[in-house]
Structure 1
Amino acid sequence: MDSTLVSIVIVPRERFSTGPESLADVLSKTPAAVPIVCVEGNPPREVRRQLHAAGGARVAFVASPHYLSPNAARNIGLGRVQSRYVVFLDNDVWVEPGWLEALVACAEEEGADVVGPLYRQGRPEDREVHMAGGMAHVVVRNGRRRIRSSHDHQGKPLDEVLPLLSRAETELAEFHGILVRSAVIRRLGGFDEGLLNTREHIDFCMSVRQGGGRVFLEPASQLTYTRPPPFAWGDLAFFSLRWSEDWTQRTLDHFFDKWDLDRQQIPHLKTWTKKQRYRFLDPWYSRITAFLGRRIGRQRVVNILRWTLYPLEGVLNRLFNRLLSLKKSG
């Protein structure tokens, strides 16, 4: 496996603190000849030091003076590679041995334009499926265009699902880890940077298939996506921006205009992104509920937090990201 066949581009997903260990894991299970580009995305100084210590001379690091959306980071990485295939990884995944070889073999043998592995979630030892192929297409009902998408086998035990799977064409792969034929993404003009924080994988896979390309699932390749918490303090500014109300609204407006979709789906998707942002509050929510619940009753605490903690978080998120915007423009 030489440098002209495949390269790897790693980008921040929503936290920085996972990056050094994830990078070390990828390096330990990837052939040494494969070029690796790590788009840093303006991490805290200590995380940056740890990244460079983990990657050494084997990894090409790309610095940025400000936070990047995932698609913007992918485009930066894409501009640094020249191989036939590019594998895009988020910085919070752990890969299994042989993961890359299986993706490349599928692309070569099937003529696939996009190949997704079997995605796991939690910790690697949890062996729980996040997605094994999926669905993403537009349906038209009563003259209204709506997106239909799903993750196959999500939440099921890996050992229960794996015997049912084989390499197959599918509609959807995710950016936790995805192999892309370079010519295909360049023909599309790169990844759509109007999509700041959600629907990127759906948009990309539908665009590829709309152009006649094929998307495959290769279950012989596996990786684990580690969803938060935990968080480090240095994660919070980027995490807050990543799932902010501003980025969410701009993303959904762009996505729904691009695909001419019924906007009645937007409130549901805004709720979904809000829940992603609330993951920062989960540890505090659990502690407060446990502590006060013994004194005034758990349900009363839940009701109080519902009308205080979460609305306050929304106000602070809008204020914080306004300050970030002013700092960037200044």
Structure 2
Amino acid sequence: MLNAAPNDQTLVTIIVSPRERFEQATMSLNAVFDTADLPFRMIYVDGGSPKAISDELKANVESHGHTFIRRPGYVTPNDARNIALPLVDTPYVVFIDNDVVFSEGWLSALVNCAEETGAGLVTPTILVGPASRMPNLKIHHAGGILKFTETEQGRDMYRRHGFEHESYLEKKDELVRKESDSTEFHVVLARREMLEDIGPFDPKLVGFTDEIDMAFKAKEKDWTIWYEPTSVVAYAVGKKLTWREIPYFCLRWNSARCMKAERYFYKKWNLVPEFSRQRGFLRDHRRHAFPFKGLQKVAGWRITVTFTTLLCETIALFTSIRFLKPDMSPAPVSSAVAD
């Protein structure tokens, strides 16, 4: 596919940020270069990855003429995005996580949708599963649904992903371009004018609702959100975590940090607190770090989950010193590029 160097007519800057692990970052970066069908600029923000991985990413990014920003400690996704945004000078920004793979034509489809609809945000079809099976995967997100019911306690929010857990190949013909209530940060296109309108990403949101916060702020400013079915990407899961990425993974999904952020978000938008979805995700997702299938056969599911939680939380406690407080002043951001 076309991987043309950026020029004066380049429409898109791709900002890559860490999500929860590092070992798939090189695969994901190569997938961008292999499939992007429009000229683009890239700002790659790497926070605390193992040196061997960081060196490989830096060499790859810079050999293609793009910008690599290295932070020695871990950074949250919103902090990484805020670090990169001052360097953007294109009409559109595409935010991607560092563990995503892409189908041919994904980038031009997002831009075409924005151009044709005037959207502030465009979300693609997001699948989930092993990269090797792409696109024969389940749908993770095909447009977002948010509904609200006014109560005495505040607004009760109902949230659902379109076609979630459905087979993509079976449902492909039913997917149509339409307005969406929200996006996912696995991959999302944003109009730079909208980003300037809503301001920087909230650094206090370190858990599950950073993309909903962006959607709320966009709609406050009367920007529309669209779902584009012909742009197809996949959040690549399936490979076991390695010991090099378990500390960041456990810290990223630390209960205290994540739930503090959720309580803050719900209060910020006057929403009725309801956290069963978040707690269930934390309980189940952390088992990717420590499956302990043998222990579960002997001790049962409940004991295994409890042990996994305690182990991951302990690792997060001792790892927390590696999280950097973001310095958003222009000078450190620009000087970091040459790390």
Same fold (TM over 0.5): yes
Q: How many residues align?
A: 316
Tell me, in whole angstroms, the C-alpha distance in 1 between the residues paired with 2:175 and 2:79.
33
Q: How does 1:251-262 map to 2 (within 5 A)?
A: 251-262=261-272
Report the counterpart of residue 316 of structure 1 in structure 2. 314
Offset from partner CA, 1:185-236 (integer Å, 9 cap, x none) = 1221111111012211111112211221100010110001013552122211
Unaligned 5+ runs, structure 1 = none
Deviation at 1:286, TM superposition (A): 1.4
Compute the RMSD of aligned alpha carbons: 2.3
Report the secondary structure of 1:72's partner residue: helix
CA distance in 1, matches of 2:90, 2:214: 20
Deviations along 1:111-154, whole A, 9 cap, x unmatched?
11100110111022433211111112432134432221101111
Which has the larger displacement, 61-70 or 266-275? 266-275
**Does the Cα contact within 8 Å between 1:136 and 1:202 map onto a contact in 2?**
no
TM-score normalised by the chain length of structure 2: 0.86
In structure 2, the residue matched to 1:79 is 86
Distance verdict in 2 for CA 1:26–1:153, change over 3 Å: same
Instruction: Check conservation: 2:22, 2:53, Cα contact below 8 A.
Output: yes
Whole-angstrom CA distance in 2 between matches of 1:55 and 1:150:
35
Helix, strand or coil at the partner of 2:207: coil
Deviations 1:257-291 (A, max 9, x none): 2111223x135523433433332122xx21333xx
SS in 2 for 1:230: coil
Contact 1:13 1:70 in 2 (8 A): yes
Contact in 2 for aligned 1:24/1:55 (Cα 8 Å): no
1:42 pairs, out of 48, 57, 73, with: 48
**1:144-178 CA-partner distances (Å, limit 9, x unpaired):** 32221101111111122111111111112110000
- The 3 A distance-change label for structure 1 pair 203 and 287 is same
Equivalent positions of 1:245-324 (< 5 A) are 245-263=255-273, 265-266=274-275, 268-282=277-291, 285-289=292-296, 293=297, 300-306=299-305, 309-310=307-308, 312-313=310-311, 316-317=314-315, 319-324=317-322
What SS is found at the alignment partner of 1:115? strand
Question: Taking structure 1 as reference, are residues 62 and 179 closer, same or farther at Cα in structure 2, changes over 3 Å only?
Answer: same
Gaps (5+ residues) in structure 2? 1-5, 327-339
Counterparts in 2 of 1:1-330, with a 5 A limit? Answer: 2=7, 4-31=10-37, 33-58=39-64, 59-123=66-130, 124-227=134-237, 229-263=239-273, 265-266=274-275, 268-282=277-291, 285-289=292-296, 293=297, 300-306=299-305, 309-310=307-308, 312-313=310-311, 316-317=314-315, 319-324=317-322
Which has the larger helix fraction? 1
Q: 1:122 to 1:315 in 2, by over 3 A?
A: closer
Separation of aligned partners in 2, 1:315 and 1:173:
29
Question: Aligned partner of 1:145: which letter?
Answer: R
Asked if the contact 2:18–2:47 (Cα under 8 Å) also holds between the matched residues in 1, the reply is yes
